[in-house]
Amino acid sequence: MTVDATLTAMAEWEALEAHYGSLEDQSLRNLFAGDPGRAERFAVEAAGLFLDYSKNRITGETVRLLSALARARGVEARRDAMFAGEKINVSEGRAVLHVALRAPRDWKIVVDGEDVIPEVHAVLDRMAAFSDQVRSGAWKGHSGKRIRNVVNIGIGGSHLGPEMAYRALHAFSDRSLTFRFVANVDGAAFTEATQDLDPHETLFIIASKTFTTLETMANAAAARRWALAALVDEKAIARHFVALSTNGEAVEKFGIDTDNMFGFWDWVGGRYSMDSAIGLSTMIAVGPDNFRAMLAGFHAMDEHFRTAPIERNMPMLMGLLAIWYNNFFGAETIGVMPYSANLARFPAYLQQMQMESNGKHVDVEGRHVEVQTGAVYWGEPGTDAQHSFYQLIHQGTKLIPVDMIGFCAPLSPIAEQHDLLMANLFAQAEALAFGKTAEELAAEGSDPKQTPFRVCEGNRPTNMILADRLTPHTLGALVALYEHSAFTQGAIWGIDSFDQWGVELGKVLAKRIVPELTAAAEPALAHDGSTNGLIRRYRRLRAR
Ligand code: G6Q
């Protein structure tokens, strides 16, 4: 896979720069006033999601020029290469096939001469059989009690998706089961998650693609000690521990029977793995049928992404709008505000997906990129966020494009509050786009002394994503939307969105420092002065 070195010298890029110059001072007020059909035209529907992107600082010409850039950068060819199982993760020499995890049984995707779809469904079937056993009580703990607690131990891609999905789909989950998620190597995380659980009724899911990650291995060892302190017999491990991993050897070495292991493959990146075996906790919580409905939602968005023309392609449009603000307006961040309490962990999940994918400084050929790459993604659920940091989005000096997500039907029986939630959602997008002028304030009789403080300039762009209800299908479609938006951005920049060498560096460095903290004798330290000093200070003060 090759990319042009000179993105900014391309005619399509230059055309966008010139166009930006003509649009920079345009306001959303003017754009809406001059174009009554704007809201209908800048809207697209796919896989049960509706995107209104009319409150962006764009015209039809912007969409045309961004689409031309995507064509010239080969975004469609790169997408097709991903679906065909080509090794587009060039730095690791791997295929990128999370789309295969949700492909129907009768599909065929070949990697290294082998169709991967039968294996994918074989694992899903084993997960379903196991989930059914746990949910029905047929799977017993060592002392014959049924499992009532499920603790997922994993970090990063082996944690954020399962935790987010469990919370998002809480309304569909088996309430007789308790779920906990342990990621942090801080022992407090494990202690808090297990302090009120009965080991006889607890199942640990050790989720680790590599089965070598320091945090997960430390927490898995803590879980083993905690379980055996009560269950005593080593044989109990087989009833209380399962593993989700690609590393059978390490799983066996840890003492987990590989019959209790659910596998996946090197072509599934951690941050793209919540729909693989890594989703076992989700499947136990909501049941195999709901899990399959989630996969169908993913697949519906995959199909839209694979087949829709760029100008009507929801993930491509979202990715191109992110490029528009990042590279032309100089926006550094994108806020994501789900108006749903159940999506509270969605921004954290997206943060990893977007920032680990597109936080890259070289292109696929190893050359330093010429432009800014991945934006900082962040957010909190509305309406909570309105009462904290929205002030800066409304009246601060930074441009922060915001994605807003809402659902037309509530999950809660307190339905009347849903109208309040949605009223806030629509009001915020309106206020951000159109603001409040001095004239409007005067007409409302506002104190003139306060006018400068009360004026809201507006012109703050938003994407509005609406769906009927937060169901498993909707969640799958929503996650796939952002996966493919990240893909589109990465393809424009010509970077490898599927490696994470920065994360690997941290893993290696921490392992080197551990013995320096724990050695009885003062170790010889060869770090920089600051790190040496911090290690010495910690050794002096560390209380046991
Ligand atoms: C994801 C990253 C990273 C990874 C964790 C956990 O894309 O690679 O977040 O998921 O470091 O790794 P393991 O699953 O191997 O423990």
3-state secondary structure 233-291: CHHHHHHHEEEEECCHHHHHHHCCCHHHEEECCCCCCHHHCCCCHHHHHHHHHHCHHHH
DSSP H or E run through 476: helix 472-493
Q: Specify whether the CB–CB gap between 274 and 162 falls below 8 A.
A: yes
In this prediction, residues 475-491 reach a mean pLDDT of: 98
Residue 467 three-state SS: strand
- Please determine, for residue 125, whether its predicted confidence score (pLDDT) is greater than 70: yes
* All residues at 6 or more sequence positions from 318 whose CB lies less than 8 Å from its CB, including other chains: 51, 53, 403, 463, 481, 482, 485, 488
In the structure, what pLDDT confidence band is assigned to residue 509 with cuts at 50, 70 and 90?
Answer: confident
| 500 C-beta closer than 6 A to ligand 1 | yes
Closest CA to 270 of 199, 362, 352, 326: 352
Convert the pLDDT of each residue in 309-346 to its tens digit: 999 999 999 999 999 999 999 999 999 999 999 999 99
What per-residue confidence (pLDDT) applies to 3?
67
Q: What is the 3-state secondary structure (H, E, C) of 488-535?
A: HHHHHHCCCCCCCHHHHHHHHHHHHHHHHHHCCCCCCCCCCHHHHHHH
**How far, rounded to the nearest angstrom, does the alpha carbon of residue 215 sit from its chain's CA centroid?**
20
Atom of ligand 1 minimally distant from the CA of 210: 15
Output the CA 156–ligand 1 centroid distance in Å. 5
Confidence (pLDDT) at 4? 65
Q: Is the CB of 152 under 6 A from ligand 1?
A: no
- The Cα 211–Cα 217 span in angstroms is 7
DSSP per residue, 342-396: GGTTHHHHHHHHHHHHH--SB-TTSPBPSS---PEEE---TTGGGGTTHHHHHHS
Mean pLDDT of 493-503: 95
**Catalytically annotated residues:** 356, 387, 507
Residue nearest (by alpha carbon) to ligand 1 atom 13: 208
The per-residue pLDDT for range 259-318, each reduced to its tens digit, is 999 999 999 999 999 999 999 999 999 999 999 999 999 999 999 999 999 999 999 999
Q: Is the minimum distance from the CB of 245 to ligand 1 under 6 angstroms?
A: no
Q: How does residue 248 score in pLDDT terms, banded at 50, 70 and 90?
A: very high
Contact status, residue 154 vs residue 278, Cβ threshold 8 Å: yes
Distance CA 485, CA 315 (A): 5
Residues shown for the chain? 544
If one residue of 213, 261, 360, 507 were mutated to test the ligand 1 pocket, choosing by the most ligand atoms within 8 A of its CB, it would be 213
Burial class (CB in 10 A: 0-12, 13-18, 19+), 412: exposed
Nearest CA to ligand 1 atom 9: 156
DSSP state of 170: G
Residue with the two structure tokens 């962006």: 56
Q: Assess whether pLDDT exceeds 60 at residue 1.
A: no
The per-residue pLDDT of the chain, averaged, comes to 96
Query: Strands 43-46, 49-52: parallel, antiparallel or unpaired by DSSP?
Result: antiparallel
Q: Indicate if ligand 1 lies below 6 Å from the C-beta of 209.
A: yes
Whether the Cβ atoms of residue 264 and residue 244 lie closer than 8 Å to each other? yes
Q: Is 208 in the pocket of ligand 1 (CB under 6 A)?
A: yes
Q: Are strands 261-263 and 241-245 parallel, antiparallel or unpaired?
A: parallel
Distance between CA atoms of 481 and 81, rounded to whole angstroms? 18
To test the pocket of ligand 1, the residue of 272, 278, 503 to mutate (highest count of ligand atoms within 8 Å of its CB) is 503
Tell me, what DSSP letter sits at residue 92? T
Q: What is the arithmetic mean of pLDDT over 438-454?
A: 96
pLDDT of residue 485: 98
User: In this structure, what is the dihedral angle of CA atoms 96, 502, 275, 165, given to the nearest 10 degrees?
Assistant: -150
Q: What is the side-by-side order of every strand in the sheet holding 261-263?
A: 178-182, 149-153, 202-207, 241-245, 261-263
Quick one: which atom of ligand 1 is closest to the CA of 272? 7
pLDDT at 480 over 80: yes
Dihedral pair phi/psi, residue 244, rounded to 5°: -120, 110
| Among candidate residues 13, 59, 197, 157, the one with its CA nearest the CA of residue 499 | 157
Which DSSP string corresponds to 115-169?
Answer: E-HHHHHHHHHHHHHHHHHHHHT-SB-TTSPBP-EEEEE--GGGTHHHHHHHHHT
Substitution site in 91, 209, 350 for ligand 1 pocket (most atoms within 8 Å of beta carbon): 209
CA atoms in the 13 A half-sphere facing the CB of 323 = 30
> Rounded to the nearest 5°, which phi and psi values hold at 369?
-70, 155
Distance (Å, whole) CA 541 – CA 530: 17
Task: Give the whole-angstrom CA distance, residue 91 versus residue 261.
Answer: 28
Query: What integer is the mean pLDDT of 377-389?
Result: 96
Buried b / exposed e over 292-303, threshold 16 CB at 10 Å, is bbbbbbbbbbbe
Closest CA to 354 of 271, 273, 297: 271
Q: Is the CB of 308 under 6 A from ligand 1?
A: no
Distance in angstroms between the alpha carbons of the first and the last residue of the chain: 54
Alpha-carbon distance 103 to 99, whole Å? 6
Mean predicted confidence (pLDDT) in 10-37: 95
What tokens does 127 get? 């997960």
Residue 6 predicted with pLDDT over 90: no
210 alpha carbon to ligand 1 midpoint, in Å? Answer: 8
Work out which ligand 1 atom sits closest to the CA atom of 216: 16
Q: Find out whether the beta carbon of 503 lies less than 6 Å from any atom of ligand 1.
A: yes
Contacts 24+ apart (CB under 8 A), 537-543: 542/517
The type of residue at 188 is A
The pLDDT of residue 511: 85
